[in-house]
Homo-oligomer: A and B are copies of this chain.
């Protein structure tokens, strides 16, 4: 009884270890340069072992992306519905930046990398992605109900906002902020979010 459970637990733990290590290496070196061997070495198991947990490199990275989406949803789904819609929107922006800052490797995998995404994502990732995006849409719709964003399609509003945060975060993750090297990058991103909020509020 206890034995089976322990084994199960250990198995899950190794799976997690593989995922975590893959995420780390992939952030450090990029997808293509992160080899199965690298991961295996890092966790001190044989490369073959990884194949017991994941069919191939693609599947490993799909699983990684899935984990990312799960984490992402837990960030995004945490917004108090008691706040005014516009405040929820602001909060969502904050939380989005926070996720990207906490988990840049996952962010890159989920939203930037093309490499392993050629085949379709897992159903679960898709689902979680949709649900996360649903949070944004819902809030935007509530804002509109309250009189904001007059005459705008909710999709357009949502996409605009999302594009902005994604763009800001992408610049940072893709290391394209050297142009602003005299400024503190995080401050700049935060201030631009404030400016965006400012624009939205008055509308």
Contact = CB atoms under 8 A, between A and B. Distances in A.
B175 A171 contact: no
A112 interface: yes
Contacts of A198: 203
A-B interface, 5 closest residue pairs, ranked by CB to CB distance from nearest = A167-B167, A32-B32, A163-B167, A166-B167, A160-B192
The dominant DSSP class at the A interface is helix
**Complex copy number for this chain:** 4
Interface string A98-117: 00000000000001111101
User: Looking at chain A, what size class is its interface with the partner chain?
Assistant: 35 or more
Interface of A: 30-33, 111-115, 117, 129-130, 133, 149, 152-153, 155-157, 159-160, 162-168, 170-171, 174-176, 179-180, 183, 188-189, 191-192, 195-196, 198-200, 202-203
